[in-house]
Amino acid sequence: MPQGLQTYDYLVFILYFILIASYGFYIYRRKKTVNANTTDFFLAEGQLTWWAIGASLIASNISAEQFIGMSGNGFRLGLAISAYEWLAAISLVVVGIFFMPVYLKNKIYTMPQFLKTRYNETVAMMMAIFWLFLYIFVNLTSILYLGSIAINNLTGGTHFHLIMIGLAVFALFITLGGMKVIGYTDVIQVLVLTIGGLITSYIALTVVGEKFGFGKNAIAGLNHLIKVAPDHFKMIFDKPGAGATQKQIDDYSSLPGLAMMAAGMWVANLNYWGCNQYITQRALGADLKTARSGIFFAAMLKLFMPLLVVIPGIAAYVLYQNGELQQQMLTAGVVNQDNAYSSVIGFLPIGLKGLSMAALTAAIVASLAGKANSISTIYSLDIYKKYVNKAANDTKVVSTGRIMIIISLIIAIIINWNDSLGIGGKGGFEFIQKYTGYISPAIFPVFLLGFFWKKTTSKAAISGIILGLVLAILFDKFLPGMFGNETFLYTALPNGHGGFEIPYLIQMGWVFLFTCIIIVGISLLDVKGQTHDNSLQEDSTKYKLTNAHIAMIVTILIVVAGLYIRFW
């Protein structure tokens, strides 16, 4: 039976904290970030190697959202949730080939800056405000909440608020040093979270093997999971028909089979990896070859992430069905899928629990630091410098950025104090995906058409952003009530609470399509706008790849194809 953390576990965790803090301070002093200018502080321009970029991308992405939220979905949905990880690898390839050359050729430091260069100041300002609200009230807040819940469960379940403050302070310590400190400490964070995650998965599988009479054999444990829970090793869910259970309906609503592959999953991934300040910021300070190498390296690492974050959730499900983890999976007397990962950690030997908690903390802190830095970057460069204090020098802009980091973390703590947003309801991972999905189908067409269609106008972009957001709200809240639950566009499914909902990945696909049509239509009608000044510089050689890059891309595509063939 799982037990709580012991003295040696806390010692291991304290050693991790000392290591990260010491290395971060060393980078802070050695890389001269004490009096950094704006490009140094926000981008670490020219200072991150390809492996640091790749590691930082993964460290910033793999957080409580994955370790807690995705493991929870592994408990409920199984391996199918890995679609977010494996298709992310392909999305990173697309970003590295097609998006990054445009950003680097035009010396883009922030996403609003790209929108200003491609369109105009109004588009950039609108999106800067959208992103700030999204990053603070959805991403930063949910990462802090999920991380605090997980570590609170590991340490006895009585110190949630204290842990939340501690995580915020830890992230603050790293973030105030700027992108160099974040980037280089992320290398250690990735190493710790990978080792800790692999150990947790290995132990979880050996426990399964032992509980079912196969001995401490991880491979036997994995084979047993596949045998006794075949529904948890199915990548594509069938559309529920008459007589379907509520669980089958809920599973399809979360991952709507082949329909999500038409657009929704790609919109979520390509927008996240290619049009997201939080992510692209890691590569924007490098040259194209280094940036691409780092991005493709991150794509290769993404292939292994389900082993770290989904398999433990499936193991927890099988153990729970066998009578184990009955107390550990409960929150307020109800089974909570987001308890899956912390429940499995309880099986680890003394000392290794501390390492796994360090891995979990590494993931949480790295993401908090990266998100806070992006909030700081957008506010400082795209709002404060442009509209509040145009005469501010680099020192003033950097200090303002540091203040914004503190403010955003305080806001996240206040919101999470009593879970004001209800993040702990359906599951943290889906909370993030759903509410990010309100904005991404409206934003991504603006970027996509801005990259590849010169006739896209500023007026059309603004209209697309506004109408796309309106469409997202209509699809999510009103269409079933207005037009019924079955139309040629969608099928609204019972949500188990007396209402009907369109699966959010299908919503995203339709909103993306209609937003593209709106932008194209208005652009074609806007004859005057077609003569606007598009300041993006073109480079005919920007899509040329090295042989090493081609080899990495081919490897990624073959592995993803093989995984889908095996677990279709």
What single-letter amino acid sits at 56?
S
Q: Are 313 and 71 in contact (CB under 8 A)?
A: yes
Q: Which range scores top for mean pLDDT: 69-78, 193-202, 358-367?
A: 69-78
pLDDT surpasses 60 at 531: no
Six-digit token string for 85: 């990880």
Give strand pairing partners of 486: 491
If one compares 170 and 34, the residue with the highest pLDDT of the two is 170
Q: Which DSSP string do the residues of 37-102 spell out, in sequence order? A: -HHHHHH-TTT--HHHHHHHHHHHHSSHIIIIIIHHHHHHT-GGGGHHHHHHHHHHHHIIIIIHHH
pLDDT of residue 103: 85
Q: What pLDDT digit, counting tens, does each position of 483-492 carry?
A: 999 998 889 9
pLDDT of residue 564: 92
What is the largest distance, in Å, between two alpha-carbon atoms of the chain? 74
**Which letter does DSSP use for residue 381 in this model?**
I
Q: What pLDDT digit, counting tens, does each position of 111-123 carry?
A: 888 888 888 888 8
Q: Which of 7-21, 146-160, 495-509, 525-539 has the lowest mean pLDDT?
A: 525-539
**Which letter does DSSP use for residue 491 in this model?**
B
Q: Binning pLDDT at 50, 70 and 90, where does residue 1 land?
A: very low
- In this structure, what are the phi and psi dihedrals at residue 221, rounded to the nearest 5 degrees? -65, -45
**Which letter does DSSP use for residue 133 in this model?**
H
Which residues touch 140 (CB under 8 Å, ≥6 apart)? 368, 371, 372, 375, 408, 409, 412
Question: pLDDT > 90: what percent of the chain?
Answer: 29
Report the C-alpha gap between 310 and 341 in whole angstroms: 9
pLDDT surpasses 90 at 311: yes
Q: Please name each of the domains of the chain with its CATH number.
A: 7-421+428-436+538-567 (1.20.1730.10)
Distances (CA, A) of 524 to 56, 466, 529: 41, 18, 9
- In this structure, what are the phi and psi dihedrals at residue 334, rounded to the nearest 5 degrees? -120, 140
Q: Are 128 and 375 in contact (CB under 8 A)?
A: no
Report the C-alpha gap between 196 and 353 in whole angstroms: 9
Q: Are 236 and 78 in contact (CB under 8 A)?
A: no
Structure-derived torsion over alpha carbons of residues 266, 267, 270, 276, reported in degrees to the nearest 10: -150
- Decide the pairing of beta strands 330-331 and 334-335: antiparallel
Q: Please state the pTM of the whole predicted model.
A: 0.83
Average pLDDT, the chain: 83
Q: Which of 4-18, 133-147, 293-307, 520-534 has the lowest mean pLDDT?
A: 520-534
pLDDT of residue 44: 47
Report the C-alpha gap between 33 and 175 in whole angstroms: 11
If one compares 5 and 342, the residue with the highest pLDDT of the two is 342
Distances (CA, A) of 48 to 54, 411, 480, 538, 548: 10, 30, 49, 25, 20
Six-digit token string for 117: 């260069």
pLDDT of residue 64: 65
